[in-house]
């Protein structure tokens, strides 16, 4: 399945305007103009300045060592550099499950990122693996969010813990864990309000939800997954840093990648908060949630 929607792949654009001259590379040199154009393309693809500079330095270093003598060498080197960036730091893409059930997964993110849809897709995936799943409507600010989550629970066969609009999100989380223990549920997924990351009051409430979960079940939440919209560019980095300052983020979910040709933000966000990418979303259907793999992602990002 292609991850990115683009008339022309990043690699094709690099070949068109920035490919290092093979003869120059063979002599261990790097054309300054080509490097500047490559830098521009990487920034336009939302890799961000720190990641872009490191990728450029790696390409220059390889070229000076005489490792880049063909177009394929260059493509392979860029692929390897992107994949290495995604494998750096904390990089385990597998979900963490508790030794004793239930596993508690807290889902974070701003309005419009696709958070509720991700919960439905994750519930479907876990149910397909034979797990009993519960979803909890901790976004009590929007009645629509509660209804949407209830529909996903019905579609996926998950247990559902609802709430009254305007209720206490922390109380919903507490009740959900209680119910999950009583019913023998394997995984409970707790939604949270789609907070604007600039709202300090709402971020404080998110911290409260996290504390209450830990009080009810020591060691929980076992995953705190931050859902980010892949189409918003470097704003995703700003959101990630703000959420990570409020709650320890254990994993990233990047949605709407089918609607962008600028997937470098995935690398930028991973580096910004040193959290592994766990899933990418490429559509609305339950099967459009893909487990993250650094090599596959790097190849798709370059070649489309």
Mean pLDDT of the chain: 88
Is 228 within a domain?
A: yes
Examine the domain organization and report whether 33 and 120 are in the same domain.
Answer: no
- Closest by CA to 231, choosing from 281, 164, 157, is 281
Query: Which tokens go with 172?
Result: 């919903």
Is 94 within a domain?
A: no
- pLDDT at site 196: 67
Q: What is the CATH number of the domain that holds 143?
A: 3.40.50.300
pLDDT tops 70 at residue 44 = yes
- pLDDT at site 225: 98
Q: pLDDT (tens digit, 9 = 90+) per residue, 130-147?
A: 999 999 999 988 778 889
pLDDT tops 70 at residue 5 = no
Q: What is the CATH number of the domain that holds 31?
A: 1.20.120.140
Examine the domain organization and report whether 164 and 265 are in the same domain.
Answer: yes
Is 214 within a domain?
A: yes
Is 173 within a domain?
A: yes
pLDDT tops 80 at residue 293 = yes
Domain count, the chain: 2
Q: pLDDT (tens digit, 9 = 90+) per residue, 86-99?
A: 999 999 999 999 99
Is 189 within a domain?
A: yes
- pLDDT at site 1: 46
Residue 199 — very low, low, confident or very high, per pLDDT cuts 50/70/90?
A: confident
pLDDT tops 80 at residue 16 = no
Is 5 within a domain?
A: no
- Closest by CA to 161, choosing from 188, 121, 122, is 188
Mean of pLDDT values over 239-258: 93
- Closest by CA to 134, choosing from 205, 195, 193, 182, is 182
- Give the H or E element holding residue 108: strand 103-108
Mean of pLDDT values over 252-279: 90
- pLDDT at site 209: 97
- pLDDT at site 32: 63
Cα 184 to chain centroid distance, Å, stands at 29
- Highest-confidence segment of 58-72, 198-212, 265-279: 265-279
Q: pLDDT (tens digit, 9 = 90+) per residue, 152-175?
A: 999 999 999 998 888 899 999 999
Q: What share of the chain is helix, strand, coil (3-state, %, to 5)?
A: 50, 10, 35
pLDDT tops 80 at residue 20 = no
Among the residues of 157-276, which ranges form H helices? 169-183, 200-216, 235-246, 265-273
Examine the domain organization and report whether 115 and 262 are in the same domain.
Answer: yes
Examine the domain organization and report whether 177 and 207 are in the same domain.
Answer: yes
Q: pLDDT (tens digit, 9 = 90+) per residue, 61-117?
A: 888 888 877 778 888 999 999 999 999 999 999 999 999 999 999 999 998 899 999
- pLDDT at site 7: 56
- Highest-confidence segment of 14-28, 190-204, 230-244, 272-286: 230-244
Examine the domain organization and report whether 61 and 109 are in the same domain.
Answer: no
Residue 219 — very low, low, confident or very high, per pLDDT cuts 50/70/90?
A: very high
Tokens 């880049």 map to which residue?
68
- pLDDT at site 71: 79
Examine the domain organization and report whether 277 and 132 are in the same domain.
Answer: yes
User: Which of 58, 87, 116 is a domain's end point?
Assistant: 87
Mean of pLDDT values over 178-206: 88
Examine the domain organization and report whether 63 and 121 are in the same domain.
Answer: no
Question: What three-state secondary structure class fits 254?
Answer: strand
* Bridge partners (DSSP) listed for residue 251: 225
- pLDDT at site 191: 96
Mean of pLDDT values over 253-277: 89
Examine the domain organization and report whether 134 and 256 are in the same domain.
Answer: yes
Examine the domain organization and report whether 279 and 174 are in the same domain.
Answer: yes
Is 97 within a domain?
A: no
Examine the domain organization and report whether 131 and 235 are in the same domain.
Answer: yes
User: Which of 52, 87, 122 is a domain's end point?
Assistant: 87
Which range of residues forms the domain containing residue 15? Answer: 10-87
User: Which of 42, 63, 87 is a domain's end point?
Assistant: 87
Is 112 within a domain?
A: yes
- pLDDT at site 220: 98
Examine the domain organization and report whether 234 and 208 are in the same domain.
Answer: yes
What pTM value is reported for the model? Answer: 0.92
Examine the domain organization and report whether 148 and 268 are in the same domain.
Answer: yes
Q: Is residue 120 a contact partner of residue 156, using CB atoms and an 8 Å limit?
A: yes
């Amino acid at each position: 399945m292609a991850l990115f929607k683009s008339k022309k792949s990043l690699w094709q654009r690099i070949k068109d305007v920035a490919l290092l001259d093979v003869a120059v590379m063979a002599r261990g040199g790097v054309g300054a103009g080509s490097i500047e154009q490559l830098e521009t393309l990487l920034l336009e693809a939302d890799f961000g300045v720190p990641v872009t500079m490191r990728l450029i330095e790696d390409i220059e270093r390889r070229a000076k060592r005489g490792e880049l003598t063909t177009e394929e060498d260059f493509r392979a080197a860029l692929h390897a550099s992107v994949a290495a960036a995604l494998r750096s730091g904390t990089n385990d893409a597998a979900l963490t499950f508790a030794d004793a059930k239930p596993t508690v997964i807290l889902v974070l993110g701003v309005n419009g990122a696709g958070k509720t849809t991700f919960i439905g897709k994750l519930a479907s995936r876990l149910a397909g693996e034979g797990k009993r799943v519960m979803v909890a409507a901790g976004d009590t600010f929007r009645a629509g969010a509660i209804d949407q989550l209830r529909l996903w629970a019905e579609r996926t066969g998950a247990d559902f813990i609802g709430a009254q609009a305007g209720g206490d999100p922390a109380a919903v989380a507490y009740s959900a864990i209680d119910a999950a223990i009583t019913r023998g549920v394997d995984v409970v997924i707790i939604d949270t309000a789609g907070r604007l990351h600039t709202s300090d009051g709402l971020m404080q409430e998110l911290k409260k939800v996290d504390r209450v979960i830990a009080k009810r079940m020591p060691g929980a939440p076992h995953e705190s997954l931050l859902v980010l919209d892949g189409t918003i560019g470097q704003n995703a980095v700003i959101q990630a840093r703000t959420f990570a300052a409020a709650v320890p983020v254990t994993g990233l979910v990047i949605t709407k990648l089918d609607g962008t040709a600028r997937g470098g933000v995935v690398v930028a966000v991973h580096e910004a908060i040193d959290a592994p990418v766990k899933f990418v979303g490429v559509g609305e259907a339950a099967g459009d949630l893909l487990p993250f793999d650094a090599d596959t992602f790097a190849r798709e990002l370059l070649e489309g």
